[in-house]
Structure 1
Amino acid sequence: MIEYFALAVVVIVALYFVALGTSALLAPAFAKRFFLGFASSRLAHYTELLVRFTVGVAFLLQSPRMLFSAGFNVFGWILIVTTAGLLLVPWQWHHRFARQAVPQAMRHITLIGLCSLVLGGFILVAVARGAAA
């Protein structure tokens, strides 16, 4: 049962990256507003941490059944460890960092969009090929 949940989370993450990439390329103003919403409040901060942790655990659980399993295992651990680090930081610091970093990153919205599309597609292929093996 937990394996199906992990699979669903990983596929949803892949589709999220595809949607994010599409949005960044076709509606960059919308994507910019979306990115500025990260760490905008205490609730947003802790919700982001919960989602990051859930996604990290899902990648750990699903990675043995994916193509490039070691890489996705490391990706899961990176999400979990960085989430733990963010949990130790007051949400206001995260908010301040996001307010400074997001506008700088948005100068590269096309690159972010392309990378998001590639990452989402790569995850979907890794899931599909891993299931076929």
Structure 2
Amino acid sequence: MAKPVKVFADLSIQSEDGEIIVKNADDGSLIFDFPTRQSFNNFTEVPLPFKPSLKAIGKANAALLQQRQPVVIRVDHEDWIILGKTPKATLKFVKLAPFYLKQNLSWKDSLYLVGTALGFAIGYLAIRKES
């Protein structure tokens, strides 16, 4: 079984809308802290090589739970997405949906957002695992 990811020094990513911080919580959770909704929105415009879906979120949550690596995505000091702590992922659809749905109110856009965040988290874990 793989060991949980441990960030030894806080990682910060400077964006136009503020500083995105990646760190470990006291309980070992990997925290992605976005300063504003706009910074989270800008980050989610990164294209992903897989099709995001609820099934993909469930698989990512199950993998993180099995590896005992909780991942929390915070926006403005509030948890929006929690993966790997419980058998079901915790998503703040009330927070995510209005911000990411377009005029046609497609749920695909909100799922794409969640998939992007998961892709970033899984990519970060894969990079840390190799090094």
Q: TM-score, normalization: structure 1?
A: 0.30
Q: Which has the higher helix share?
A: 1
Greater RCO, CA 8 A, separation 6+: 1
Q: Report which of the two has the higher share of strand.
A: 2
Larger radius of gyration: 1
